[in-house]
Structure 1
């Protein structure tokens, strides 16, 4: 699998800002991680994606900076449309939906840009949202989304025919969305891949597949190997794995555990929570403050959608779900086409970690991302070592 780190951790949304973050952060991360070259999973906000799509000169500026710092691009994150570092993001990250033309236009622009940036002989991948947040979502919306993905399939096929470069789009299930789980995304895509469907309603499984975010997978309490088997048994492929870990709370009724997890409640991002009951049933809350306020009974363990840096083990009584991450990567690697899946470290939450463990400036962020990449390189090929308990920064971890 090709390894990269996702640049949606950085706030820049214009070309100059992105070029600066590549020079000031991604380049130093490569050096700190001890890598000859570093994959960067670029996040291109919609306005920048459309600008780069229109401008060969701007793409050449980007290409020069990438080459200067020995960075390569084989995957893009096209889930957030823009404003991913606004003061409050929450549900805005799911807009526009796949029922709106702007979403299709954005992803197609990203595909054209990526095709022009790909190293020779390497296929590209783009992750995208699972249609929309679950409500409001109507049958008419679903029909529009179906047609949009069919149009996307034809656009990706035309791109491959014109350029000789294949770019695949990967739908990323997320708790609370229309396609909440792996089962949901498999059912939705598989129903639209039959060869006898009309072109305006058929999705090409060779070009549209699944993005397995291992934090989301853990939050849903899914079995990683079974989830990957469902994808491949349906004739679909795991195009991309977003290497990420969720927070695990074994006993959310314990006052100490509640106090510990409450430190991760913050105002920018949505942190969905799922609780598994004794019977295996999974209940949910749409955000961590709702769960803490009693939305969940706290009779069974919680998983919290908060991307924990991969190399870090939270202090007890909390834990991170890196066991799910390792199992998922192993299952994908053993699956058809698994060796061609892309592995993108996606810890976008560095800036909203509890204050006493948050990176204290750019140098500590570089060190943290580099540590994640070293951990991924060392432990996602079947290694059994646990995440390091080294503090995330120079200060002590409570």
Structure 2
């Protein structure tokens, strides 16, 4: 979906397809028919944005076969779908039974990460609509903190590669709890020397909330460092107001699951690297907890738990409520639908949930004075 900010900026809204399992091109093409087009139809729009996740095997297939790119472009067009952003954080295996720390490998010390990201940028340049100003690729925040080595010049190689493309595509590093770049302060420090024409920040509002960061202060910190918000990931974290309460602890236990990492904080970092560790005593439980578990934007979890939707709303207001739009790419990224305690029972339930999240975001943008662009 597209929106026009009062300053004239065209703002793109998409949902991220890393919620769907697809490790080959046939799987990606199938998900467009199985989910993308039905979500668009449920929203009643003639054009829906996708933040495609192209796993390493899919990207390899596409970069080595121009006919495959043509097939993907044709399928997107036929189903009323468009792509201005890619999620390049997971490399592959994002729907394995256990992902956890594997999602951070290879990190930005490895040439494989650079090549993968440049391949994604090249593919996105081919997929971009003709009237799109630019593309964006989000990526991991350098790496997991305990495994990190120096990038060895990979970020410089990345920027040089992006500068050679025919159409502009920028790469956005996504601060996340427990990583080398965990907070916006670390982003401002560790990315201070990068080529800011091509590199910037992907601001994930779930991660922002888990870090107990104030949206206005966080954005001020990034902009003061000369870092653009290349992309906003609209997401909400799980919140427990009183984690010492037995009923609250039982509710939190229902969110412990084996696939993804659920970093948890009780105030500012450092916290626990996973929710089960927090419940086992790594967090004292004397103040509210926020948990890196992406929950649906449009509805709170069952009481006594809540979500950090107010942090998302405040971030949207900071980015779009003023006289100038401060980013133009928004990606709804609730990748955890299948591991929720009340996970959708079938495709229809997932389609309905994704559409409801997008509709909540659409209404939030309209309330901030943006106008929906109808083709």
- Give the TM-score category using the shorter length: over 0.9
Could you tell me whether the CA contact under 8 Å between 2:22 and 2:55 is conserved in 1? Answer: no
Could you tell me whether the CA contact under 8 Å between 1:311 and 1:372 is conserved in 2? Answer: yes
Gaps in structure 2 of 5+ consecutive residues: 1-10, 369-375
Map of 2:356 onto structure 1: 371
Separation in structure 2 between the aligned mates of residue 120 and residue 295 of structure 1, nearest angstrom:
51
Could you tell me whether the CA contact under 8 Å between 2:175 and 2:183 is conserved in 1? Answer: yes
User: What is the deviation of 1:289?
Assistant: 0.2
Residue 150 (structure 2) aligned to one of 110, 128, 142 = 142
Separation in structure 1 between the aligned mates of residue 269 and residue 365 of structure 2, nearest angstrom:
28
Map of 2:257 onto structure 1: 266
User: What is the deviation of 1:121?
Assistant: 2.9
Q: Please state if 1:362 is matched with 2:347.
A: yes
For residues 207-247 of structure 1, what are the alpha-carbon distances to aligned partners after superposition, in whole Å with 9 as ceiling and x for unaligned? Answer: 10000000000000000011111111111100000000001
Residue 313 (structure 1) aligned to one of 279, 300, 316 = 300
Q: Which stretch shifts more, 336-345 or 10-19? A: 336-345
Separation in structure 2 between the aligned mates of residue 335 and residue 83 of structure 1, nearest angstrom:
40
Residue 322 (structure 1) aligned to one of 309, 320, 324 = 309
User: What is the deviation of 1:143?
Assistant: 4.2
Could you tell me whether the CA contact under 8 Å between 2:229 and 2:326 is conserved in 1? Answer: no
User: What is the deviation of 1:315?
Assistant: 2.0
Q: Which stretch shifts more, 78-87 or 51-60? A: 51-60
Map of 2:373 onto structure 1: none
Q: Please state if 1:117 is matched with 2:127.
A: yes
Q: Please state if 1:53 is matched with 2:46.
A: no
Q: Please state if 1:236 is matched with 2:227.
A: yes
Could you tell me whether the CA contact under 8 Å between 2:110 and 2:151 is conserved in 1? Answer: no
Residue 340 (structure 2) aligned to one of 348, 353, 358 = 353
Could you tell me whether the CA contact under 8 Å between 1:237 and 1:337 is conserved in 2? Answer: no
User: What is the deviation of 1:379?
Assistant: 1.8
Separation in structure 1 between the aligned mates of residue 325 and residue 53 of structure 2, nearest angstrom:
23
Separation in structure 1 between the aligned mates of residue 323 and residue 189 of structure 2, nearest angstrom:
19
Larger relative CO (CA 8 A, sep 6+): 1 or 2? 2
Q: Please state if 1:186 is matched with 2:177.
A: no
**Counterparts in 2 of 1:70 and 1:324: CA distance versus 1, 3 Å:** same
User: What is the deviation of 1:12?
Assistant: 1.1
Instruction: Summarize the alignment of residues 203-222 of structure 1 with structure 2, pairs less than 5 Å apart.
Output: 203-222=194-213
Could you tell me whether the CA contact under 8 Å between 1:250 and 1:300 is conserved in 2? Answer: yes
Q: Please state if 1:63 is matched with 2:50.
A: no
Could you tell me whether the CA contact under 8 Å between 1:183 and 1:230 is conserved in 2? Answer: yes
Q: Please state if 1:130 is matched with 2:132.
A: no
Separation in structure 2 between the aligned mates of residue 170 and residue 305 of structure 1, nearest angstrom:
20
For residues 154-202 of structure 1, what are the alpha-carbon distances to aligned partners after superposition, in whole Å with 9 as ceiling and x for unaligned? Answer: 111111xxx2x11000000000001111111111111x1xxxxxxxxxx
For residues 71-102 of structure 1, what are the alpha-carbon distances to aligned partners after superposition, in whole Å with 9 as ceiling and x for unaligned? Answer: 00000000000000000000000000100110
Map of 1:391 onto structure 2: none
Map of 1:173 onto structure 2: 175
Q: Please state if 1:294 is matched with 2:304.
A: no
TM-score normalized by the length of structure 2? 0.93
User: What is the deviation of 1:7?
Assistant: 0.1
Q: Secondary structure at the match of 2:147?
A: coil
Instruction: Summarize the alignment of residues 21-60 of structure 1 with structure 2, pairs less than 5 Å apart.
Output: 21-60=31-70
Map of 1:392 onto structure 2: none
Q: Secondary structure at the match of 2:51?
A: strand
Separation in structure 1 between the aligned mates of residue 237 and residue 98 of structure 2, nearest angstrom:
21
User: What is the deviation of 1:337?
Assistant: 7.2
User: What is the deviation of 1:17?
Assistant: 0.7
Could you tell me whether the CA contact under 8 Å between 2:229 and 2:327 is conserved in 1? Answer: no
Separation in structure 2 between the aligned mates of residue 99 and residue 271 of structure 1, nearest angstrom:
24
Could you tell me whether the CA contact under 8 Å between 1:219 and 1:274 is conserved in 2? Answer: yes
Map of 1:250 onto structure 2: 241
**Counterparts in 2 of 1:336 and 1:45: CA distance versus 1, 3 Å:** farther
TM-score normalized by the length of structure 1? 0.87
Residue 285 (structure 1) aligned to one of 259, 272, 278 = 272
Separation in structure 2 between the aligned mates of residue 283 and residue 256 of structure 1, nearest angstrom:
25
For residues 46-84 of structure 1, what are the alpha-carbon distances to aligned partners after superposition, in whole Å with 9 as ceiling and x for unaligned? Answer: 111122112210000000110010000000000000000
Question: Moved runs in structure 1, 4+ residues, more than 6 A?
Answer: none
Could you tell me whether the CA contact under 8 Å between 1:326 and 1:380 is conserved in 2? Answer: no
